[in-house]
Structures are given as structure tokens and as C-alpha cells.
Amino acid sequence: MRVGYSVLKEINEKNFTPCASDYGLTQREFENFVLFLEHKGFLERVLRVDDSFSLNPARLTKKGIKLLEDNNQYIETYPQKRSELKVWIQVDKELYSNGAEEE
């Protein structure tokens, strides 16, 4: 949930354009996640050209804004620095992990 919250928050506030490396994801994982957010109706105007995409023109839908409002408890712990996002999202990873080790 924290990754989704962060991606939507940064797109909405336009502090920076989120990318895969901000969250420790591969480019493909990040693109699939953005596509998921778009298909679920949280995000619109994701620019796609051939195999690449851009979040610069993207914006939140009403549903995306509502998700941010409904999860405003994250504001208290949200990192001030972009470089701290990976650590911040680890809480969800540890919380929802089944204890399996990555190969």
C-alpha cells in the first residue's frame, strides 16, 4: 500500500516524478504497477510511446485523490527525502511477507 500511496502522492504534488529505483523495483515491475493503478482508476494520462512511458503528464482521478485522503495516516511517517523511500516501504514488505527468502 505504501508504494501506491507514494506514487500517487508524488504525481499529485509534482515534487518529483517517481521511478522504479525509488522503490527498489525493476523497470518492468514499476511499469506494471503504474498500469495497475491506471486500470483500477486511480491514475490517468500516463503517456505511452512504443515500449516507454512517462508520468510527467499523469494526474490523479477523483478515486486516486480519495485514496490519498483515506490513507492520510501515512503523512506522519512519509520521508522528507526521496532517497529514504526504499526504507519507508520496507515496513509493508516486512508486514505482508510470508517469511520466504528471495532467490
Task: Write the pLDDT tens digit of every residue in 51-101.
Answer: 888 999 999 999 999 999 999 999 999 999 999 999 999 987 665 555 555
The domain spans of the chain are 2-96
pTM score, whole prediction: 0.87
Instruction: Please report, for residues 12, 38, 39, 41, 93, the alpha-carbon distance to residue 63 in angstroms, rounded to integers and kept in the order given.
Output: 12, 11, 12, 7, 24
What class is the 2-96 domain?
A: mainly alpha
Q: What are phi and psi of 89, to 5 degrees?
A: -75, -15
List, in sequence order, the alpha helices (H) in 1-103: 2-13, 20-23, 27-39, 62-70, 85-96
Interatomic CA distance for residues 36 and 6, integer angstroms = 15
Task: Write the pLDDT tens digit of every residue in 5-36.
Answer: 999 999 999 999 999 999 999 999 999 999 99
